[in-house]
Amino acid sequence: MVGGGEVACRKVALLVETGAFVTVVSPDISGEIEALVGKGKVKHIKENFREKHLEGFSLVVGATDDPQVNRAVSRGARNSGIWVNIVDSPGESDF
């Protein structure tokens, strides 16, 4: 997950409900995501997104309020053969 705000929080919660362990890349995260970090269900990388954050993943969700960051997530994921979903941008998403 790239993003730590309200929309990202909803997506993270849904993924955690399925049993997924989620990594969140964002300088800041919501209190709800912080609580999931505290429970050991989410890892938080407190950094701005860089393409290196995609290494080792097979799925990425871009859920920031910055279209440039979301485009960078989409471009990096597609260049790396990683499935990508950019919230509210079907054209930049694989699903």
- Sequence letter at residue 13: A
pLDDT of residue 60: 98
Q: Can you tell me the distance from the alpha carbon of 20 to that of 18, in angstroms, rounded to the nearest whole number?
A: 6
Angle between helices 31-38 and 6-17 (to 10 degrees): 30
User: Confidence band (pLDDT; 50, 70, 90) for 93?
Assistant: very high
- The number of angstroms, rounded, from the C-alpha of 66 to the middle of its chain's C-alpha atoms is 13
Q: Can you tell me the distance from the alpha carbon of 69 to that of 2, in angstroms, rounded to the nearest whole number?
A: 9
pLDDT of residue 38: 97
pLDDT, tens digit (0-9, with 9 covering 90-100), for 35-81: 999 999 999 999 999 999 999 999 999 999 999 999 999 999 999 99
Structure letter (DSSP) for residue 40: T
